[in-house]
Amino acid sequence: MSAPVIRVQGLVKRYRNADEPAVNGMDLEVMPGEFLGLLGPNGAGKTTIISIITGVRQATSGTVSIQGIPITRDAHEVHRIIGYVPQDIALYEALTARENLTFFGELLGLSGQRLRQRADELLERTGLLARAGERVKDWSGGMKRRLNLIVALLHEPAILFLDEPTVGIDVQSRAAIWELLHEINATGTTVVYTSHHLEEAERLCSRVVIIDNGRAVGEVSDPQAHKGHLEETFLRMTGRGLRD
């Protein structure tokens, strides 16, 4: 059996002036090629967990390693392996789509013809090629979301992290994103994504970890096999109480 590509042990994150820790002893292992969904209600700690795993934030305690490399020891190397799609539209709106892709691509170690080809390929794949010369600020939310996704795919990462990648977009854009995610997962890319859309998780994920109060409270393997029951499981594990 192959080793996990992501290993999280005893992760704790305590924000200053917060009564409770945002992440409270989280353990997680992700196997190569998995499509893992981190599901949880608002404020469960999903974004904080993914931020720590990708190196955006530092943990109060606990360890995170990606392909056996501790993030705290060699973040630079880990960042070559991973791709990260933030919850926000993390793009420079004054720049064109191509300028955004060129800038982020160069940071990811691509250049010249290779970068242009890869950018064109992804723009074509997401239906954005014809408008690649336009400034992002003039685009619709769905187009921005698609570009937000493909920036993280430029260097063909081995592991892709997505933080609610389909928030606030139209059905067509969401379907295109799902399709693309399916495709890249099929080529062997490990995908970890957070959401509170259960239907989306059922459709995409090979495994779902349910998070509440900063730690894993349950797990559903092969959610597609339990279609329609994920919501019931989710509510059983996280309760029906309203969240802030």
Partner 1 sequence: MLRRIIAHIRKELLLLVRDRAGLALLYVMPIVLVSIMAVVQDAPFRDFADKQVKVLFRDLDGGVVGEKVRAGMDIAGSFTITDAGTLSEEEIKEEVRKGHHQVAVIVPAGASKVLLDRSAHAMDGLFGQITGDSVAPIQPDSAFVRMIVDPTVKHAFRELSRGALIRILAGLSSEQLLVDMHARMEAITGDTLEPLKLMAPFIGVDQRLAAGETSGVLIASDSTQHNVPAWTIFAMFFTVVMLAGNMVKERNSGCMARLLTMPGGVAERILGRAVAYLFICVTQLGVLLAMGHWVLPVWGLPRIGARPCEGPCTFAAGGGVH
Contact code string over 6-35 relative to partner 1, x by CB under 8 A: ------------------------------
- Determine, following the binding rule CB under 8 A, whether residue 135 of this chain makes contact with partner 1: yes
Selection from 194, 203, 104 nearest residue 157 by Cα: 104
What string marks each residue from 151 to 180 as x (binds partner 1 by CB under 8 A) or -? Answer: xx--------x-------------------
Q: How far apart are CA 9 and CA 231, in angstroms?
A: 27
Q: Does 207 bind partner 1 (CB under 8 A)?
A: no
| Contact of 212 with 163, CB cutoff 8 Å | no
Among 12, 31, 69, 89, which residue sits at the site for partner 1 (rule: CB under 8 A)? 89
- The answer to the question of residue 132 lying near partner 1 (CB under 8 A) is no
- For residues 228 and 198, is the Cβ–Cβ distance under 8 A? no
13 vs 212, which CB is nearer to partner 1?
13
56 interacts with partner 1 by CB under 8 A: yes
Token representation of residue 169: 């977009």
Q: Which of 20, 70, 72, 109 binds partner 1 (CB under 8 A)?
A: 109
Contact 30, 228 (CB under 8 A): no
Question: Which residue in 12, 31, 69, 95 binds partner 1 (CB under 8 A)?
Answer: 95
**Is 24 or 87 the residue whose CB approaches partner 1 more closely?**
87
The conformation of residue 5, written as its DSSP 8-state character, comes to S
CA of residue 90 relative to chain centroid, distance = 13
Which DSSP helix (H) or strand (E) runs through 104? helix 97-107
CB of 136 to partner 1, least distance (A): 10
